[in-house]
Structure 1
C-alpha cells in the first residue's frame, strides 16, 4: 500500500517535518508499504484559486497542470496523510489552498444536474495530524478540536467520500508533552493500514467516540 504524505511548513527543521518523517518510518517499517512526501512549501505550490481553476469549474475547461499533477499523485496512492501546524485553529493557508484547487469538481466529487453530489474518493484512506502550541485542555474548553474535525474530517473528506482513519492533534509543542510526539507519530504510521486487517472502515475518531 502506498501513502502520499502532504506536509505544509516552510522550515525543513520544523517539528512538522520531523513528525512527517516519523509517520513515514512507522508506515515503512514492515517493508510492505511505501510513502511519498509532497512538501508543498518546498515545491512552491501556488495556493491561490485562480481564473483557470474557475474556468475548469464553470466551463469544464482543462485543469491547470499543477492541479493535475497533484491529483495524479493522489490517484497513485491508497492513503493520503496531511501533516501540518495549526494556524488560527485551521490549516495553514497554503494547505487550504491546495485543497481548494486540487479537490476539484469532477475529480473529488461531481455535482449532478439534479443537485445531488457524487462522492468520488471512497477508495481513499485519510490520515490527519495537526500540530499545535496550545494544550489539549484549551482545545477541549473552546471546542477547537471538534470544530476542526467538523470542518476538515466531515466538511472536506466526508463530502468527497474519503475515509478518515486517523484524526489526531499533537499539542502543547512547547511543553512536556512534546517529547513524546515523534513516538506517537511513528506509532500512528505503524497502524496506518490496521483498518484493512480489521475489515472495517471506521475512523479512529469514530472508535473513540
Structure 2
C-alpha cells in the first residue's frame, strides 16, 4: 500500500484480550504500527482495557426492536466504526470462536437500524457496504489440525459470512497465527510483521 493510499484509509483496530502482555495485544500493536507507519489514521479499541460491557441487556433488546434509543456506550462504538474505512479485529481463538468480550461487542453494536435494516416488507438491507473488515485470529492449535477439522473454515463462515457479510461489509481472508501457546511471542516477530503488512492492504474477498 502506498503512503497516499494509506492516508485515505482510516482504520479501527479492535483488540479483545485482558492481558496487556499477551501475543494478541502484541499483534494488535504491530498492525496499528504498520498502518501508522504508512501514514494511515489509526484508532485502537481496547475492549478489555476500556471495560466495555458485552452483556446484552433489556435496554439493548428494546433498542433492537426500535422501542428505545441505543445505550450510550453502544453509540460511542458505532461512532468509532463510522469514522473508519476499515475495521481490524484481533482476538484469541476460544473454543473455535471469538472471546465472549468480542462477541458481546458485536452483539450489542452491530444491530438492526445501524448495521442493517430489517422490515417485514423489505427484508434485510445491509448498511455497512462502505466498510472493510479484516480478521486476525491467534490460535493455540497447529495449522494442520485446523485444516483437518475444518476449524478455519468454520471461523470464516461464522464470522466473515454470518456477521460481516450479512451487514454488507467487504471482508478479507482470515489471518491466523498458530501454536501461540507453545512458542514465545519473540519467536513470532517475523510472522507478526508479515501479517501486519498483509492486513495493511485492502480487503480482497467480498462476501
User: In the alignment, which residue of structure 1 is the partner of 2:155?
Assistant: 148
What's the RMSD between the two structures over aligned residues?
2.0
| Contact 2:17-2:91 within 8 A present in 1 as well | yes
TM-score, structure 2 normalization: 0.89
Which of 13, 25, 39 is matched with 1:5 structurally?
A: 13
Task: Kindly indicate whether residue 133 of structure 2 is the aligned counterpart of residue 126 of structure 1.
Answer: yes
- Residue ranges of structure 2 left out of the alignment (5+ in a row): 1-8
Q: 1:159 to 1:109 in 2, by over 3 A?
A: same
Q: 1: CA distance between counterparts of 2:114 and 2:44? A: 21
Q: 1:123 to 1:48 in 2, by over 3 A?
A: same
TM-score, structure 1 normalization: 0.88
- 1:79-158 correspondence runs (5 A): 79-114=86-121, 116-158=123-165
| Contact 2:14-2:90 within 8 A present in 1 as well | yes
For these two proteins, the number of residue pairs brought into alignment is 199
Q: 1: CA distance between counterparts of 2:42 and 2:30? A: 12
| Contact 2:31-2:200 within 8 A present in 1 as well | no
Task: Kindly indicate whether residue 36 of structure 2 is the aligned counterpart of residue 28 of structure 1.
Answer: yes
Q: 2: CA distance between counterparts of 1:48 and 1:119? A: 24
Q: 1:191 to 1:170 in 2, by over 3 A?
A: closer
Q: 1:137 to 1:98 in 2, by over 3 A?
A: same
| Contact 1:19-1:181 within 8 A present in 2 as well | no
Residues 132-180 of structure 1: per-residue CA shift (max 9 Å, x gap): 1100111111111111110000000000011112421111113469656
| Contact 1:83-1:130 within 8 A present in 2 as well | yes
- Residue ranges of structure 1 left out of the alignment (5+ in a row): 196-200
